[in-house]
Amino acid sequence: MQLTKLVLGLGLATGLMTTALAQTTMRISISVAQNSHQGVAIDTFAKEVEKRTGGRYKVQTFYNGALGGERESIEAVQLGTQELAFSSTGPVPNFVPETKILDVPFLFRDKAHARAVLDGPIGQDLLSKFDAKGFKALAWAENGFRHMTNSKRDVREPADLKGLKMRTMENPVHIAAYKGFGIITTPMAFPEVFTALQQGTVDGQENPLPVIISAKFDQVQKHLSLTGHVYSPCIFLMNKAAFDKLSAQDKQAFLDAAKEGAKVNRARVDEDDAKGVADLRAKGMTVIDDLDKSKFVAALAPVNAQFEKEFGKANLDKIRNYK
C-alpha cells in the first residue's frame, strides 16, 4: 500500500514537474495587426519555438500595440518585464545607437541589397551590439521601404513636402532627414497614428506598403507617393537574461525560430509590395509611382553631409557598395 502511494506520489510529482516545464510561457508583441507581415513573423516564430523545444516553451502573441507601442515594448524587454518583442528599427537607436546608420535615407538600392547587408557580416556585427544593452537580438527581419502618404496633395517632388505636418517615428535620423525636406515632423508612437490622421492632428505619415495596407490608412489618407526614401528593417529581440538562462540547444531553437519567422515575413513583404499599389488604388488612393527619386536624393544633400560626418563616409560607402 505504502509502495503504491509512493509510486503514485512520485508519478504525480513527475507529472507536475513536466507540466511546470511545459508551461514556460513568454510574450511577444507587435504594434500592427495580426494580418500583416509582422503578424506572420511572430505567429511563425511562436509555432517554431514550441515545435523546436518539444512544447517546453510557449510564446504568447500580442498584436495592435496591446502591450504598448514599439518603444515601450523594447523598454519592457530590456527591463525583463516582457521576454520578447518584434519591432521595426524606428525606435531602436534610442537603445542601441550603432543601428542608427541603417536609417539613413537612400542608403539601400533595393530589398535584395538591404537583405544581403543585414544577413552578411555588417548586419551580424550590428546584432552583436545589442548584448551590452540587455538584449539578445535573434534575427533581422523586414518592415520594407517607406513611402509617404498625406491628406492634402499629390507629392511629386521635394517642394511638395514643404509645410506638411507628418507623423514620424521616434528616430533621430528620420527626423533630421524629413526636416531637410521641409516637413514639420511630429514624432508619435504607432498606435496613436490612425486617430491623429483621422482627426487632422497630422497631415500625413510614412511607412512601407505592408503597414499602410494592414493599418487601413487608405481610410484616412488620399495621397500616396512611392518615395522609397528609407529602408526599414525589423528585428526579433529577446531579454538577454532570459536568453542566457536557456540551454545551448534551446538557444539554438529560438535563433532558428526567429530565422524562420524572418523568412515568412520577407515573403509577405514581397507579396504586399507586389499587389499593394493596385489594392490601394482600388480603395480610392491616388498613387504617384513615377516620381524622380534623384530630386529627393539631391534635396537631402545638406543632411547627407551631416550624416557622413556622424557615421563616417567609409562606413556608409561600405553599406552602399556591398555586393
List pLDDT tens digits, range 270-307: 999 999 999 999 999 999 999 999 999 999 999 999 99
Instruction: Specify the CATH number for the domain of residue 161.
Output: 3.40.190.170
β-pair type (223-239, 135-150): antiparallel
CA nearest neighbour of 86 among 24, 137, 133 = 137
Q: List residues bridging with 140 in a β-sheet.
A: 235
Q: In degrees to the nearest 10, what's the CA dihedral of 107, 113, 114, 116?
A: -140
The mean pLDDT value for 173-187 works out to 95
pLDDT band at 170 (very low <50, low <70, confident <90, very high): confident
Q: How far is CA 117 from the centre of its chain?
A: 16
CB 113 within 8 A of CB 58: no
Q: Give the residue from 163, 169, 166 showing the smallest Cα distance to 187.
A: 169
40 grid coordinates = 506572420
Q: Structural domain of residue 129, as residue ranges?
A: 2-320
Total domains in the fold of the chain: 1
CA quadruple 201, 191, 209, 280: dihedral positive or negative?
Answer: negative
CB 29 within 8 A of CB 37: no
Judged against a pLDDT cut of 80, whether residue 134 lies above it is answered with yes
pTM of this structure: 0.89
Angstrom distance (rounded) from CA 108 to CA 234: 15
- Give 23's pLDDT tier (boundaries 50, 70, 90): confident
What tens digit of pLDDT does each residue of 7-19 get?
Answer: 455 555 545 454 4
Residue 300 DSSP symbol:
T
